[in-house]
Amino acid sequence: MSILLGILTFVLIVVSVLLVLLVLMQKAKDGGAGAALGGGMTESAFGADTQNVLSGTTIKAAIAFFVLSFVLYLGHLYQRNHSTGADEALPTIQAPAVPATTTENVALPAAETPAPADKPVSDK
């Protein structure tokens, strides 16, 4: 199940990038980003029906995006509800025992006080 969810996640990412590119390739009424990203080139590639082809493909990509998102949601719910506790639990690691030390026998270093600086002699 995990492999299938990984593959569907990859397909969702590809569909997401395709959907963004399709939206950016469409020509806006005022030129917009479509003209900056080769709006004229899409007309020569798809012919006179460029807007119909791009809008139809955008609709299909949006439907695929929502269907894949919902299927992934259901897949993760299924995986969470039907998982066994043993295969997903973190391993238990035992730390080595360290003998406790007391602070009574430990001598702390004495703090050094800085020596006062000599005052300069003024010539008056």
What pLDDT is recorded for position 1?
75
pLDDT of residue 48: 62
Block mean pLDDT (10 aa), the chain, length 124: 89 94 81 56 62 87 95 91 68 76 63 68 62
At residue 14, the pLDDT reads 95
Q: To 10 degrees, what angle do helices 50-81 and 2-25 make?
A: 160
pLDDT in the model for residue 9: 93
Cβ burial, residue 50 (10 Å; 0-12/13-18/19+) = buried
